[in-house]
Amino acid sequence: MTKEILKGAIIEQLQRIFDPEIPVNIYELGLVYEVNVSDDNHAHILMTLTSPNCPVAESLPQEVKEKALGVHGIKEVKVELTFEPPWDPELISDEAKLELGML
């Protein structure tokens, strides 16, 4: 499989993880900044949380890693947590904003 197909499959998996406080998946919420797949099928996911004190700060990155590892062909996953830039509601996709009544 190509890197782009693997990346798309990882994103599909991440869209199945929902924020516990906002009924939107973490990808549409804008918590996932980057998904990259290397030539040797290792994935690197750069993500953030809605706040550093988020109640799922420990469990959410682990869930992201497990979902990405579940993609056939992915050999290794590194999840990197960052707070630069900090998450902002402007990062929410238009589709999710519509669902949340923000548009």
**How far is CA 94 from each of CA 12, 69, 89, 98, rounded to the nearest angstrom?**
18, 28, 11, 6
Tokens of 15: 């869209």
Task: List the helix and strand counts (H, then E) for the chain.
Answer: 3, 3
Model confidence over 10-69: pLDDT tens digits? 999 999 999 887 889 999 999 999 999 999 999 999 999 988 888 888 899 999 999 999
Tokens of 9: 């499959």
**How far is CA 22 from each of CA 17, 49, 54, 89, 97, rounded to the nearest angstrom?**
11, 12, 12, 11, 11
Count of Cβ atoms closer than 10 Å to residue 79 Cβ? 18
The more confidently predicted of residues 57 and 7 is 7
Ordered structural domains, the chain, with CATH? 3-96 (3.30.300.130)
